[in-house]
Structure 1
Amino acid sequence: MPKKRAAPGGAQRPRSRELAAQATRENLLRAAIKVFARNGFAGGRIEQISKAARSYDRMIYYYFGSKEGLFIAVIEEIYRRFNEAESELALDLDAPTDSLVAIVRFIWSYYNRHPEFITLLNSENLHRGKHISKSRRPGEYSSPALSLLERVLHSGARQGVFRSELRARDVYLLIASLGYFYLSNRHTLSTFLGENLEAPEALEHWERFVIDSVLRVVAAGPPLPPLASSTRSHNRSGD
């Protein structure tokens, strides 16, 4: 008895369903990033997200389990995007100063071009990082730029242009904090300082200032004296 032929394209149907499911999940995730960035975790509602994604509430629970599960996925996604962009940095380790400037410019420009990154991390820090601590992939969030920065600093130290005792995590925190604080507080600081910190010339000025500050910190020179501990300083002041 002759075998029945498979319906044309039948083998492709599972793949099509898989792609459709992936597209639905990504669409929900993009909508959630916008809603949570605008309203925070507490203010972002499931129905707002499903409406923005032109989907249904039940699809959020199907793919993410809960509102908290969705928020965790959002934080994971913004870190993934940041790390992906970092990993595309092409640096010349034989030119450590130029490479360091490129890292500073990348971090500053990424923060500036992706305000949702800052607002979502602000929201998560308000919750003391309790959501990201529940992520099943915590090891994936270590910044590629950190290891890259370490190699740049080692190269600069070997060439005698950077201090040899520098720690990459300290320099990274310096770069990140100078950019992050400016942008996360630009509205209140604009009022406080009486100038528009979002003006193009103000942003360009701050980028130059950050680069200059970082280069001054890492520049080779006479070793700095060790800092006295706060306890010892306090005891001396009380003598």
Structure 2
Amino acid sequence: MDTTTGPKEKEVEPAEGGADGAPARRDPEGVRRDILAAAGEVFAERGLSGARIDEIAARTRTSKRMIYYYFGDKEGLYRACLEAAYDEVRRGEEALDLGGLPPAEALARLVAFTFDHHRRHPAFIRMVMIENIHRAAHLRASRVAAERNRAAVARLTEILRRGEAEGVFRPGVDPLELHWHISALSFFNVSNRPTFSALFGDELFSEEAQARLRAHAVEMILALVRQEEPGDDDQA
């Protein structure tokens, strides 16, 4: 078990070279991003208990000492990786500029983005699965994760508000429940691929099949929120 603790908060940033002995560049944010990228890969592959700071340092241009300087200890680094992974999703959503789109188009784009993002970032899905094994203890301890992720529900709240005002979405749709549905459709596609493929084959994971599943996810979410047109109900 990696028991090394980090330095005191007032310690000056170490002036040392990278793992190859080259002089360190004064780019604290760049060093931090490099560490987070490497650590995220290792945690996704090995979990919190299996990850080693030595291996993480070996995948960066820095050292164990610098990792402890920036993140304190292994759990602090793991928590920072979780925060960064969720932040990447939220930043991707922000970049969609959904406020300028009609509500149905905005929601469709958000669902498609979520499906594609999760598919393209299986390490993120593995990190979330690992954190669920830990019963979200590290996310609960995060000072920024909950606040940052509220943006996802706020974004859906705004889309639903506009859709209801325009008469295209039915009233009373809960944005948190809708976020759950979107996450479930997108998450399972990645988290359960190994077991699903072992039982039923890889047919649904071809590019063509994945495009169909993404379209189905969009259709299902839109069907869930759409306002019923007169005459939609079956008549006796």
The reply to whether TM is greater than 0.5 is: yes
Q: Does 1:175 align with 2:144?
A: no
Per mean C-alpha deviation after superposition, the further-off stretch among 131-140 and 109-118 is 131-140
Residue 48 of structure 1: CA displacement? 0.6
Q: Which of 141, 151, 169 does residue 148 from structure 2 map onto?
A: 141
Is the Cα–Cα contact under 8 Å of residues 32 and 49 in structure 1 kept in the other structure?
yes
Q: Partner amino acid for 1:120?
A: M
Structure 1 residue 91 and structure 2 residue 98: aligned?
yes
Change (3 A) 1:151 1:194: same
Match of 2:167 among 153, 160, 164: 160
CA contact (8 A) 2:86 2:145 kept: no
Structure 1 residues 60-209: aligned runs within 5 Å:
60-92=67-99, 95-209=102-216
1-structure distance, mates of 2:152, 2:131: 22
Contact 2:79 2:142 in 1 (8 A): yes
Distance 1:101 1:162 in 2: 13
**Which residue identity lines up with residue 25 of structure 1 in the other structure?**
R
Larger radius of gyration between Structure 1 and Structure 2? 1
Identical counterparts, % of pairs: 34
Give me the whole-angstrom Cα distance separating, in 1, the residues matched to 2:81 and 2:204: 28
Unaligned ranges ≥5, structure 2: 1-23, 230-236
Asked if the contact 1:94/1:155 (under 8 Å) is kept, the reply is no
Give the gaps of 5 or more residues in structure 1.
1-16, 223-239
Partner Cα separation in structure 2 for residue 158 and residue 22 of structure 1:
43
- Number of residue equivalences: 206
User: What is the RMSD of the two structures over their aligned residues, measured on CA atoms?
Assistant: 2.0
The alignment partner of 1:142 has SS state of helix
Q: Distance in 2 between matches of 1:29 and 1:177?
A: 26
Structure 1 residue 221 displacement after superposition: 2.4
Task: Classify the secondary structure of the residue corresponding to 2:162.
Answer: helix
What secondary structure, in the 3-state scheme, does the structure 2 residue paired with 1:112 have? helix
- Does 1 or 2 have the higher relative contact order (CA < 8 Å, sep 6+)? 2
Match of 2:83, SS?
helix
With normalisation by structure 2, the TM-score equals 0.80
